[in-house]
Structure 1
Amino acid sequence: MSPDTLWSIGELAERAGVTVKTVRFYSDRGLLPEGARSSGGHRRYGSEALDRLRLIRSLRTLDLPVPEVERVLDQDDTLEDVVAGQLRQIGSRLTALRWQEAALQLLRDCAPEERATRLRLIGAVSVPPSTAPLARFWRRWLPPRLPARLVSAIVDHSVPQLPEGPTPAQVLAFTRLHAFVTAPCPGTDNGQPAAHQPDGGRPAVLYDGLVEAYTLASPQVRAERSPRAGEALDCFVSAYARSRDTRDTPAFRHGLSGQLAADPRIDHYWNLTAEITASPEPTPGAIHDWLCAALDDQVAREAG
């Protein structure tokens, strides 16, 4: 073929294996270079347009939107960047489909009398699901005046990582967790631990110490060791004592044991989180319970 050969719109369409309508569409958007115009004003195209049209067809086969194709052709974006973005979108759609599939299995396999309740739970959750309501719950639950870096660290450890391919049981656990964290609260202070109240001491000192105590106790909880005294418990109690500008004494431990036993609990949150993650790593709630049990045991031994 001579480099000077020009084709009509129909001839170009036939060579590229597309319709005349397709050629006209891309030509009208300025994506196909015209070689010339006929004496009657009809478009004529050369080999550059054929190469360009074949490239467009390949990109569209990958389901790239036309604006993305335009950016690649105009070199506003590299092909690698556009492909990476498309892969992220496909990954998100696949995750949504997997969650929908597990939700449908959940509805299919449950008893008829449970179906309406489960359908309401599922309908309240976006697909793919978002953990934003869980993060908002923790930002409300945590005491005021905490440093932003500490709040972020606590939220990161408390909000579970959702599986991309959940089981029906994990879908059910997440929908229940979503219902729990989005339920209306009767009051801003209602249901908060004593440490969260205005006279609860210095919350930043407390939570910094709790993060350290949980880190120390985590290996023992993971190994399923019974609650016991030791460095983790000492760090745990010290966090409460330092936040209240007092000393760690047997009397303080006795009082703290009673206070923690009376504090409101959110075990439901942690139980559902464990179901969602299906991880051998203990939740912060499980670690807190272990440390409270260790404190109760020590206080009981000393009292006996």
Structure 2
Amino acid sequence: MSDDELWSIGRLAERAGTTVKTVRFYSDRGLLPEAARSTGGHRRYDPAALDRLRLIRDLRALDLTVPQVHHVLTDQDGGAETGGALEDALAGRLSALGSQLTALRWRETALRLVLDCPPGERPDRLRLVGALPLPPSTAAPARFWRGWLPPRTPERIVSAFLAQAVPQPPADPTPEQALAFARLHALTARPCAGGTRPQPDVHRAAGARGATVLYAGLAEAYELAGARMRRGRAPHPGEALDAFAAAYAEAYGTPDTPRFRRLLAGRLTADPRLERYWELAARVATPPGARPDPTPGTAHDWLRAALDAQLTAPAPGVPRTAPPA
């Protein structure tokens, strides 16, 4: 191609409706190769550079980074008709935009939580929403449970439990959901008294060996209890309670007997912090107007109540004491 058929950087910029500075910027970064140099050392471009420059501007308008644009152009130069580089870049931008939109929705809801509450509650609300990362993260609840579960619990058991126990923050939260998640974050991010989280008696009794057996059995018992809770059944002895007691008995290496169940009931003490956790988790996970779905915590409470009901029931053949008239 002769020099007469080549364009100066100024002419290319004019044809593209941009500035010389922009053309030089893309050339210096290898996005817009020059065809030649004049005898005076000035850049020269062939007419095809106009289409390439327009493509670069279109990609940049989609907020792709310069390295991403370079990757897309390299892919195209290699002959790819439907380049995977473009698809990957666009998918990445969509994911990033989704996170940004979620963060904005949460920020808007947080502002309303502070604005719409009584003036006396604003300092507490400010502390709650100010400590919440945006977009919201489940890191604090996950750390809380990792510290609470028995030491050396297999990772597959931990991961399965976390999937059930840690509620995912909704992308477009109601004020009630946002407030509950902020309180959940504050509850789990706060260190325990003494700097350590004591393990429950039932965990210490099971030990590391029994952790896998215990949580596999509890998962089955919670599922069985959850099915009954969805039907509105009150806590009662039966298949769900048998699976619950059997999980602990097998983890402890002892038979599931009436005496064992009495001992187990004494160890299953309520933990106010955990009860508060499950209350908040249910609020986060429940859409407006929907009925809360059973959580591992509410299923656990149902099973504890079922165990208490069994232990306080009269023995077969013994009549119940009639209530006073």
Aligned residue for 2:247?
239
Per-residue deviation at 1:40?
2.7
1:229 paired to 2:237: yes
State the distance in 2 between where 1:169 and 1:37 align.
Answer: 65
Instruction: Tell me the matched-pair count.
Output: 301
Equivalent residue, structure 1, for 2:314: 302
Percent of residue pairs bearing the same amino acid type: 59
Does the alignment pair 1:285 with 2:297? yes
TM-score by length of 1: 0.92
Please give the TM-score of this superposition, normalised by the length of structure 2.
Answer: 0.87
Cα contact 1:3–1:46 (8 A) shared by 2 = no
3-state SS of paired residue (1:154): helix
Structural mapping, 1:1-304, within 5 Å? 5-75=5-75, 78-187=85-194, 191-197=198-204, 199-200=205-206, 202-260=210-268, 262-265=269-272, 266-278=274-286, 280-302=292-314
Report the 3-state secondary structure (helix = DSSP H, G, I; strand = E; otherwise coil) of the residue aligned with 2:137. Answer: coil
3-state SS of 1:295 partner:
helix
1:86 counterpart letter in structure 2 = R
**Is 52-61 or 170-179 further displaced after alignment?**
170-179
Query: What is the DSSP-based 3-state SS (H/G/I as helix, E as strand, rest coil) of the residue aligned with 2:173?
Result: coil
For 1:133-191, what per-residue CA distance to the aligned partner results, in whole angstroms no more than 9, with x for missing partners? 11111010011132221111111211111111111221111111111111111247765
Contact between 2:206 and 2:214, CA under 8 Å: does it hold in 1? no
Structure 1, 262-271 or 213-222: larger mean CA deviation: 262-271
Residue aligned with 1:302, SS: coil
Residues 192 and 263 in structure 1, CA contact (< 8 A), matched pair in contact too: no
Where 1:44 maps in the other structure, the secondary structure is strand
User: How far is 1:292 from its partner?
Assistant: 0.8
- Listed as ranges, the gaps of 5+ residues in structure 1 are none
Taking a change above 3 Å as real, the CA distance of residues 296 and 21 of structure 1, as seen in their structure-2 partners, is same
| Partner Cα distance (2:195, 2:131) in 1 | 24
Contact 1:33 1:48 in 2 (8 A): no
Determine if contact 1:191/1:264 at 8 Å carries over to the other structure.
no
Asked if 1 retains the 8 angstrom alpha-carbon contact of 2:213 and 2:251, the reply is yes
Contact residue 16 and residue 50 of structure 2 kept, 8 A: yes
- Aligned pair in 2 of structure 1 residues 233, 45: CA closer, same or farther (>3 Å)? same
Report how far residue 235 of structure 1 moved: 0.6
Structure 1 Cα separation of the partners of residues 119 and 56 of structure 2: 51
Q: Which residue of 1 aligns with 2:81?
A: none
**C-alpha distance in structure 2 between counterparts of 1:67 and 1:53, whole Å:** 15
Q: Supply the distance in 2 between the matched residues of 1:233 and 1:189 (Cα, whole angstroms).
A: 32
Letter in 2 for 1:98: R
**Cα distance, 1:4 vs. partner?**
6.6
Asked if the contact 2:202–2:267 (Cα under 8 Å) also holds between the matched residues in 1, the reply is no
CA distance in 2 between counterparts of 1:180 and 1:247 reads 37
